[in-house]
Structure 1
Amino acid sequence: MVVTKAKVPDVLQLYHNGCSGDHLGIKRTLLKIRERFYWVHCRDDVEDWCRKSTSCAAVKGPPTRSRGALKLYNVSEPWERIAIDVAGPFPESVSGNKYFIVVMDYFAKWSEIFAIPNQEASTVADKLVHEVFCPFGVPLDIHSDQGRNFESQIFQETCRVMGTRKTRTISYHPQSDAMVERFNQTLER
């Protein structure tokens, strides 16, 4: 049946929004309409109708999810930017250590591992200052996860005094600190 331009909205309403249509989308609505009807620019009208349907938009959400822009960080020298993480708990050693601090350099992928008895912020900050900053120098950036020991006032103050910028991973996304997380897997094995 050939449909006049005046009746096109009625057909679209019936086949897309009606009981038999159930907001099926562009492809399936077009197939159902083409079984019985024809008009010039049918495809364009169906696409336009489906895109403007407020109930479809409310249920389906936006067509693309917006994500934060990824930043490429170029490192130009060793110990300019380091990543740190605490691994453990492991079986207690003879000296009473249960955890490891893993420190990795982004430039050379060099890793340093230090055993510590607990993962408190004061212990982590002390070990970092004496075992990393003194022998290797103070980095411009330190990247870590959002652990309480790295987000504490003591650790933030240590970074401020040393003139180091502290960055952190996204919540529940260990992939944003993949280099250290991958090394932790090897260490645990």
Structure 2
Amino acid sequence: MKRDIVDFVAKCPNCQQVKVEHQIPGGMTQEINIRTWKWEVINMDFITGFPHTRTNLDSIWVIVDRVTKSAHFLAVKTIDLMEDYARLYIDKIFGLHGIPLSIISDGGPQFTSHFWKSFQRGIATQVNLSKTFHPQTDAKANRTIQTLEDRLITCGVNFKGSWDDHLPLIEFTYNNSFHSIVEMASYKTLCGRRSMPPIGWSEVGEVALIRPDSVHEAMEKVQLIRDRLKTT
């Protein structure tokens, strides 16, 4: 069985496009003081190189909470300014999770500093980050981000120029799926329970309230995304 799996992965074109070698960075890693509350310490990273969408989006901004492992995936442009990222964070994340205390970014301290200044201007307040970290100090979080990158790139390869239309379903599927580190779904660690997936709409009568074709299309997409995420 193991040999069959290895042979399949070696011949799978999507696997070869998105798989990368996962190695722990060299040098001594430092212990990070993990906060005990949700969305106080977050990881940020950018996945680039996606096919351009109708609105010229070509990258995904991945933002992950270190405690619950819940995540948000935001479609962006590589040419966006720091003020654009700060405004997007305020519009999509700030209202849900508040102000983070620490940011771990693959872009390094310079990116974190510039982003934070733009964020403070956007909310018209002065709040100091408690500490910023280089990604080498947190190998486990780095591996989580890399796993997400593999999965998102796989979906980008499959959905091509319409990948941004599927991003909300991909985010939902990730957050509502079992996470081995927290030993439950990220939604359960965040909200106390898993969310009702579109795959179960037909069981509670929503099809009668929503256009049946829309419901069935969403159910098919969720199942397709689930199947593809399992192969990464």
Q: TM-score, normalised by structure 1?
A: 0.53
Structure with the larger helix share? 2
Q: 1: distance between equivalents of 2:149 and 2:28? A: 27
Give the structure 1 partner of residue 82 of structure 2.
121
Q: 2: distance between equivalents of 1:128 and 1:145? A: 17
Following superposition of structure 1 onto structure 2, how do residues 156-175 of structure 1 map, counting pairs within 5 Å? 156-158=116-118, 161-165=126-130, 167-170=132-135, 175=139
CA contact (8 A) 2:109 2:132 kept: no
1:142 aligned to 62, 78, 103, which one? 103
Q: Does 1:183 align with 2:148?
A: yes
**Which stretch of structure 1 is more off in the superposition, 157-166 or 175-184?**
157-166
Structure 1 portions without partners, runs of 5+: 1-66
Summarize deviations over 1:109-165 as a string: whole Å, max 9, x none.
Answer: 001001012353222222122211122211111110135972563x14136634334
- Match of 2:151, SS state, is helix
2:72 aligned to 101, 105, 112, which one? 112
1:79 to partner: Cα distance: 0.6
> Of the two structures, which has the highest relative contact order with CA contacts closer than 8 Å and spacing of 6 or more?
2
Aligned pair count reads 121
CA contact (8 A) 2:58 2:76 kept: yes
Change (3 A) 1:94 1:69: closer
1:101 to partner: Cα distance: 0.6
1:70 to partner: Cα distance: 1.7
* RMSD (Å) for aligned C-alpha atoms: 2.9
Q: Does 1:95 align with 2:60?
A: no
2:70 counterpart letter in structure 1: W
CA contact (8 A) 2:108 2:135 kept: no
1:120 counterpart letter in structure 2: L
Structure 2 portions without partners, runs of 5+: 1-26, 121-125, 155-232
Q: TM-score, normalised by structure 2?
A: 0.44
Following superposition of structure 1 onto structure 2, how do residues 12-23 of structure 1 map, counting pairs within 5 Å? none
Q: 2: distance between equivalents of 1:88 and 1:69? A: 27
1:102 counterpart letter in structure 2: V
CA contact (8 A) 1:124 1:149 kept: no
- Give the number of the structure whose alpha-carbon radius of gyration is greater: 1
Aligned-pair identity in percent equals 21
2:77 counterpart letter in structure 1: P
Change (3 A) 1:152 1:139: closer
Q: 2: distance between equivalents of 1:147 and 1:89? A: 20
Q: 1: distance between equivalents of 2:149 and 2:32? A: 23
Q: 2: distance between equivalents of 1:167 and 1:149? A: 10
Give the structure 2 partner of residue 47 of structure 1.
none
